Amino acid sequence: MFEPVLLKNINTPDSHRIDVYLKNGGYQALPNALKMQTDTLIQLVKDSGLRGRGGAGFSTGLKWSFITKDPTIPKYLCCNADEGEPGTFKDRAIIEKDPHELIEGMIIACYAIGAQAAYIYIRGEFDFGARRLEQAIYEAEQKGYLGKNILNSNFNCDIYVHKGAGAYICGEETALIESIEGKRGQPRIKPPFPAQVGLFGKPTVINNVETLSCIPHIVNKGPKWFASIGPEKSPGPKIFGVSGHVKKPGLYELPMGTPLREVIFTHAGGIRDGKKFKAAIPGGVSAPMLTEKDLDTPMDFDSMAAKGTMLGSAGVIVMDDTTCIVKVAMRTMGFFRHESCGKCTPCREGTDWTYKVLHRIEHGEGKEGDVKLLENLCGNIFGRTFCPLGDGAVMALRGALKNFRDEFLYHVKNKKCMV
């Protein structure tokens, strides 16, 4: 059995309180980190092999190293707690149950990149979580872990909570920055990248909640320990959120690279109600779905990419053999259509059009050629959009079409579902 790291305290009573966190070894990494040279600290994170848990899997240490060392330039850290990718519910557990783990990680990250202020961008619906974070920040200030001259190190740092208001696109890092600045959450053109011109025009690092929560453990147990868990190129503990038609939906913290089959059948208890497995979306709805033949794929960034999908947020949505894939595709495209920020035409019009075609197929009004039409539409959106939302929508739909083309064709021809 793998000993949980990130979620080890979440079942302890009052785990969100600072005294409980301290009793369980919390805030021991911070004084040690503050004694290190920032370069050494960044190298440590690089050596651990930690890759961003927000979806893209970019090396965290490398991201931090892009920030200028010029002490006269203000810098910012943003914690991405938008958790908007459907099927994802992992960051919420850390925020509500172990907020100090995140906050300790954030203070260390701020020190490493030389930021004196950080914002946690939390989705507006997580009102309870936002209050937990504010309470935790207050407790940390009282103990001298935040504010001026932290632990007599001359390092100052403040953390603020910024609440979103129901826009998925604000999880995209440049839209997130716009939103913290108090504007509409529409993505910015890259370059310049946030590491050069980010929040309030200053160098900025954006990291996911789970990514930052790994940091105290890496400082405490060393990069070798972290790198030894799971695959060499994609190591560490990973939180998998399993939902849908399984017996035991929930969060499972396992080594990166645990096979999809094991996540679904060993940990989440397999398919409920005596039904059979049909498909699984491995990393939130933007990730193309996988079928039976892919069940032995290790769940890490590279192995998932090799299967034409992505680890994404590791929100695993499991579907049994009664599931209508056309309906799932329609619902997914409905989501992207709703969340398209409207800035570029291929995404705004493309998601709307594909949704309408899927809607008519699902409702028995599909026309001959509709499946081809969908494929063409995908081709006209993919790679032509301003930000990755449009590509995510297309990848999801292509995954469904590739694996279940017959089901779509049957729907069109027979005006009904085959399941």
Select the residue interacting with ligand FMN from 9, 48, 80, 297 (CB under 6 A).
Answer: 80
Can you tell me which of 164, 198, 203, 366 binds another protein, judged by CB under 8 A? Answer: 164
Which residues from 172-201 bind ligand SF4, rule CB under 6 A?
A: 187
- Using CA atoms, how far residue 78 sits from 130, 174, 276, in Å, is 15, 11, 42
343 binds, among another protein, ligand FMN, ligand SF4, none (CB under 5 to 8 A by kind): ligand SF4
Q: Which of 2, 58, 128, 138 binds ligand FMN (CB under 6 A)?
A: 58
Is residue 312 part of the contact set for ligand FMN (CB under 6 A)? no
By the rule CB under 6 A, 178 interacts with ligand FMN = no
Q: What share of the chain is helix, strand, coil (3-state, %, to 5)?
A: 45, 15, 40
User: In the bound complex, what is the minimum distance in angstroms from residue 60's beta carbon to another protein?
Assistant: 22
By CB under 8 A, the residues from 62 to 121 that bind another protein are 83-89, 91-92
- Measured between alpha carbons, how far is 305 from 22 in angstroms, rounded to an integer? 39
DSSP line for 38-78? HHHHHHHHHHHT-B-TTTT--BHHHHHHTS---TTS--EEE
Rounded least distance, CB 131 to ligand FMN, Å? 20
Q: Which is nearer to ligand SF4, 67 or 341 (CB)?
A: 341
Q: What is the distance between the alpha carbons of residues 239 and 249, in angstroms, rounded to a whole number? A: 13
Question: What is each CA distance from 290 to 4, 244, 256, 279, 316, in whole angstroms?
Answer: 27, 14, 18, 6, 10
243 makes contact, choosing from ligand SF4, another protein, ligand FMN, none, with CB < 5 to 8 Å by partner type, with another protein
Backbone angles phi, psi at 390, to 5 degrees: -60, -40
Six-digit token pair at 377?
């539409």
Helix (H, G, I), strand (E, B) or coil at 290: strand
- Count Cα atoms within 13 angstroms, Cβ side, for 55: 24
* Chain centroid to CA 5: 18
What is the number of alpha carbons within 13 Å of residue 212 lying toward its C-beta? 32
For residue 148 the two structure tokens come to: 């001026």
Q: Which is nearer to ligand SF4, 310 or 371 (by Cβ)? A: 310
Q: Is 400 helix (H, G, I), strand (E, B) or coil?
A: helix
Angle of CA points 92, 98, 101, to nearest 5° = 110
Residue of 183, 247, 405, 413 interacting with another protein (CB under 8 A): 183
Q: Which is nearer to ligand SF4, 96 or 339 (CB)?
A: 339
In the set 25, 342, 364, 369, which binds ligand SF4 (CB under 6 A)? 342
Looking at 44, 229, 256, 387, which residue binds ligand FMN (CB under 6 A)?
387
Nearer to another protein, 26 or 87 (CB): 87
Q: Which two tokens stand for residue 86?
A: 């459907």
Only one of the segments 50-58, 226-234, 358-366, 373-381 lies at the binding site for ligand FMN (rule: CB under 6 A); that segment is: 50-58
Residues 131-150 touching ligand SF4, rule: CB under 6 A, are none
Q: Return residues touching ligand SF4 (CB under 6 A).
A: 169, 187, 340-344, 347-348, 385-387, 389-390
Q: Return residues touching ligand FMN (CB under 6 A).
A: 52-56, 58, 80, 82-85, 169, 171-173, 206-208, 211, 387-389
